[in-house]
Each structure stands twice: as structure tokens, then as C-alpha cells.
Amino acid sequence: MYKLKDLIQLTPREVIKRSKSVSVTITRAIEDLDKSGKQFKKIQLKAKDPKGSGKTKVMTIKLYGYNKNILDDEVWCHCSCEYFTFNLEVALTAQDSSTVINSNGNMPVEKNPTMKGHFCKHFLAAVNQLRGVKFTGKKNYKTTPVPTEEELLEELLKYKK
Ligand SMILES: [Zn+2]
């Protein structure tokens, strides 16, 4: 998995330039556990670039590691933009830092032959906002990080009623 600081450092200059006109809104920020019981922070965002297509892009970023500095956290990310789909989706998935959702899963032989992971302009524009995010969490999970089988069963039964 890539660390947040790696993805920032690997982002090409022209993408950094283009990120200046992007405006970003955080729509949701939660702390949660993945299937294996690993804690992560998940942030959902929307981005708009009046100088680009003007269409709203939807982004999700998950931060793993709970480091003092989020720059050291490991990242899973996804953006609905074309740049991400064709340059980054497969390259990041190869390092477990994304998932193939919008592309056909083929290697980006022309767009990103070295398969280097980095950010699209939308994520780069979002980076500064990530530091100040306040998360809402599933507090009951926090005290018992991995729920027991009985607890899981109890949860499931709740929804059956
Ligand atoms: Zn994007």
C-alpha cells in the first residue's frame, strides 16, 4: 500500500498545477473497521473543477495506520474522474491502494507504463483539507476492536426483526 506522502510526492507537476482550480467538499468522514478488523478512517468527498469538465466527481479515501501524522498513513483511494480511471485505477490496485471499478482492468500501457501510483488533481486538491477532518466513529467497536462471533450474530439478528 502506498503512504499518503508517497502519493503526493509521486504526483506529476502538471497535475499539481491543474489541482489549483479544483474545489473540494467533504461529504462524510467516519472511523470504521474493515472485514479483517483493521481500523481505518474513511472520507468521502465531492470535487468540482470549473476549468475542467465542470462535472462533479465523487471520491473516497481510506486511511490506515493511525499515525500521528496522517502523511504516514497507508491509503486506499478512488475517484470517478477519467484521469483516475485510465491512469491510476489499475496501477494503484496493483499495490492494494485502490480497486478496479470503472476501468476494464487492463494495464495502462500508454497512459502510465511505469504503473506508478499518484493522485489525480481532485485528491491533490483535497489533501490539505484531510488534516483538519473530524471523524464520527462507531464507538462501541473502538473498545472491542474485533467483535466476537456472538456479537456479530446479535447484530445480524437485530436487523432480522
Ligand atoms: Zn479525480
Q: ∠ CA 5-6-7 to the nearest 5 degrees? A: 95
Report residue 77 CA to chain centroid gap.
3
137 pLDDT above the threshold of 90: no
Burial class (CB in 10 A: 0-12, 13-18, 19+), 47: buried
Ligand 1 centroid distance, CA of 160 (Å): 39
Nearest one of 6, 69, 73, 1 to 41, comparing CA atoms = 73
Residue 127: CB atoms within 10 A of its CB come to: 19
| pLDDT tens digits, 58-114 | 999 999 998 888 899 999 999 999 999 999 999 999 999 999 999 999 999 999 999
120 pLDDT above the threshold of 70: yes
Ligand 1 centroid distance, CA of 80 (Å): 6
Give me the residues near ligand 1 (ion), CB cutoff below 5 Å.
79, 81, 84, 120, 122
The pTM assigned to this predicted structure is 0.81
Ligand 1 centroid distance, CA of 109 (Å): 19
Cβ atoms of 27 and 46 closer than 8 Å: yes
